[in-house]
Structure 1
Amino acid sequence: MSNPKDLLIETCLLAGRIMMENGSEVYRVEDTMERIAKNAGEVNSVSYVTATGIFMSLRKDHFTQVENVGDRIINLEKVVAVNRLSREFAEKKIDLATLNAQLKRVNPDTPTFPFWLQVLGAGIVSSTLMYVFGGTWAEFIPTFFVGAIGFYSGTWIKKHVTMRFFDMFFAAFVIGVLAIVFAHFFANMNPDHIIIGAVMPLVPGVAITNSFRDIFAGHMISGQARGVEAVIVASAIAIGIATVLTLLGGLL
């Protein structure tokens, strides 16, 4: 890129987009972008971040660019990777071109847990939280399988159906069906305990936390947008469970 200022804005926007798409708070994204610009010699930069878009401007040049924010997930490893590269740039260990090139490698190079381990983790979280919320050891293994299968089904449907939030509804529906089936065939099991534990991996806890942190930091639009998104996710889970109870409640 021939113009250094174009490269600077592209780098700031890239860093901000990676952080926003992977669960960072708005104030942290804006701070990182402005620090990159400041360390590149642009002390009068302005950044404005929302849940779906990022704006970056250099005051002296009256030049602004916009970057869309895609699907938002939780992967704090990528947020840490961007922060590490930003610190290396601030310490003059790398130049701007190197920072830009390495930021482009964050998404493909950052290691993630294999899918089978994520499913296993979902099962463990489900069964342990079921017991914490008043379940019994007899429900431990069933909740493990229900939580793991629910997480797997939600991830699978997300890859094949583009409708947002439908994956949460489908996963909750599967969890409800399996919980009622276990309770129907095993009298010593409470479907409420199994459902409560199994939906825990689906609950948008980080989104809710970040929503309040953004609001308390003064970012009202982004905080409210994230809060609404979290409420919709929770509603999709609740509707999925309610649908099952309405259709199959007679089996209990």
Structure 2
Amino acid sequence: MLNDIEIIEEPDDSLKESYVRDVFFVAINCGKLLLESGAETYRIEDTMMRISNTYGISNPQVFVTPTVIIFSMNEHSLTQTVRIDERANDLGMVDVINNLSRDIARGLPIKSAIRKIEKIHDALVFPFWLMVLSGGMTAFMFLLLFDGSVADLPAAAFGGALGVFIMESILRFTRVKFFTEFFASFFIAVTSFLYVQYGPGLNMDLIIIAAVMPLVPGVLITNAIREMIRGHLLAGVMKGTEAMLTAFAIGAGVALIFMLI
């Protein structure tokens, strides 16, 4: 249990404006972090509404798309639109914000919530080397899952790590995602071809399939389906289209190698 939890009381009139702005700050930053981390739009709207209601703000209005948050506290003349340009799949961050939301529901004071938000903002993202290593390990495990040959394991692991390395490196210079997946899958296919053609590799297809798995937009596809089921048709269609284009880019990069050979 948190040591600084206390019962939330209605603030004095002299502190009312400051208090409302603090609640607005916490709610909209929680929503922003969730959207940047790939959370579903209905989860974001529900979290922001719950935070506002817990702190005594009535009639808040939230509208979220995969790229924009519009948040209003109508009775206090507060409205803000936040555009999200960079998004990723960070389920760890989603879990952190969910836990913060639960702490708020249990009575976390507004000032403590602000301090937690600031700490989350200052937290380090996963280091680059860890993401590359995770890509290699993921491809390694998928090749075992597909009952691949032991001789193909090094190529699958190297290809998975190479794909993540290329994708994350390009994203540091440009946010045009679909080119990153295209070039990553292209070089994965090149590596797999060379390993089978001039090395001990046995099954080029399985190596490529395992190595591109870290690039596959699995979370995006799942979220698109969940959005559609929950009735958020705009978000569902947008995420489904993004997943389709990402899958097309991956397939095009691999197909180009098969065309050349």
TM-score scaled by structure 2?
A: 0.87
User: How far apart, CA to CA, are the structure 1 residues paired with 2:119 and 2:238?
Assistant: 29
- 1:198 and 2:211 matched: yes
Report the 3-state secondary structure (helix = DSSP H, G, I; strand = E; otherwise coil) of the residue aligned with 1:64. Answer: strand
* Conserved? CA contact 1:165–1:232, under 8 Å: yes
Task: Provide the residue aligned with 1:132 in structure 2.
Answer: 145
- 1:83 and 2:98 matched: yes
Report the 3-state secondary structure (helix = DSSP H, G, I; strand = E; otherwise coil) of the residue aligned with 2:177. Answer: coil
In the alignment of these two chains, the number of paired residues is 246
Letter in 2 for 1:175: I
User: How far apart, CA to CA, are the structure 2 residues paired with 1:187 and 1:149?
Assistant: 19
1:147-226 to 2 correspondences below 5 Å: 147-186=160-199, 188-226=201-239
Distance 1:112 1:63, change over 3 A: closer
Question: Which contiguous aligned blocks of 4+ residues in structure 1 show a shift greater than 6 angstroms?
Answer: none
Distance 1:79 1:220, change over 3 A: same
User: How far apart, CA to CA, are the structure 1 residues paired with 2:174 and 2:87?
Assistant: 16
User: How far apart, CA to CA, are the structure 1 residues paired with 2:255 and 2:99?
Assistant: 44
User: How far apart, CA to CA, are the structure 1 residues paired with 2:52 and 2:38?
Assistant: 22
Report the 3-state secondary structure (helix = DSSP H, G, I; strand = E; otherwise coil) of the residue aligned with 2:70. Answer: strand
* Partner deviation per Cα, 1:198-218 (whole Å, 9 max, x = no partner): 000000000100111111111
Supply the RMSD in Å over aligned alpha carbons. Answer: 2.0
* Conserved? CA contact 2:151–2:200, under 8 Å: no
Report the 3-state secondary structure (helix = DSSP H, G, I; strand = E; otherwise coil) of the residue aligned with 2:152. Answer: helix
* Conserved? CA contact 1:88–1:94, under 8 Å: no
Letter in 2 for 1:216: I
TM-score scaled by structure 1?
A: 0.90
* Partner deviation per Cα, 1:134-170 (whole Å, 9 max, x = no partner): 4212211221112111211111122123423211111
Letter in 1 for 2:191: L
* Conserved? CA contact 2:30–2:117, under 8 Å: yes
User: How far apart, CA to CA, are the structure 2 residues paired with 1:87 and 1:187?
Assistant: 53
Task: Provide the residue aligned with 2:256 in structure 1.
Answer: 243
Task: Provide the residue aligned with 2:32 in structure 1.
Answer: 17
* Conserved? CA contact 2:220–2:243, under 8 Å: yes
User: How far apart, CA to CA, are the structure 1 residues paired with 2:222 and 2:18?
Assistant: 39
- 1:104 and 2:123 matched: no
Q: How much does 1:98 deviate?
A: 3.2
Q: How much does 1:119 deviate?
A: 1.8
Letter in 1 for 2:96: A
Letter in 2 for 1:204: P
User: How far apart, CA to CA, are the structure 1 residues paired with 2:106 and 2:175?
Assistant: 42
Structure 1: runs of 5 or more not aligned: none
Letter in 2 for 1:70: D
User: How far apart, CA to CA, are the structure 2 residues paired with 1:188 and 1:148?
Assistant: 17
Q: How much does 1:185 deviate?
A: 0.7
Report the 3-state secondary structure (helix = DSSP H, G, I; strand = E; otherwise coil) of the residue aligned with 1:199. Answer: helix
User: How far apart, CA to CA, are the structure 1 residues paired with 2:223 and 2:64?
Assistant: 14
* Partner deviation per Cα, 1:16-62 (whole Å, 9 max, x = no partner): 01001102111111111001110111131121111011111224345
User: How far apart, CA to CA, are the structure 1 residues paired with 2:115 and 2:249?
Assistant: 39
* Partner deviation per Cα, 1:184-238 (whole Å, 9 max, x = no partner): 1136522111100000000000010011111111111011111111111111111
Report the 3-state secondary structure (helix = DSSP H, G, I; strand = E; otherwise coil) of the residue aligned with 2:132. Answer: helix
Aligned match for 2:46, one of 31, 53, 76: 31
User: How far apart, CA to CA, are the structure 1 residues paired with 2:46 and 2:109?
Assistant: 19
Task: Provide the residue aligned with 2:5 in structure 1.
Answer: none
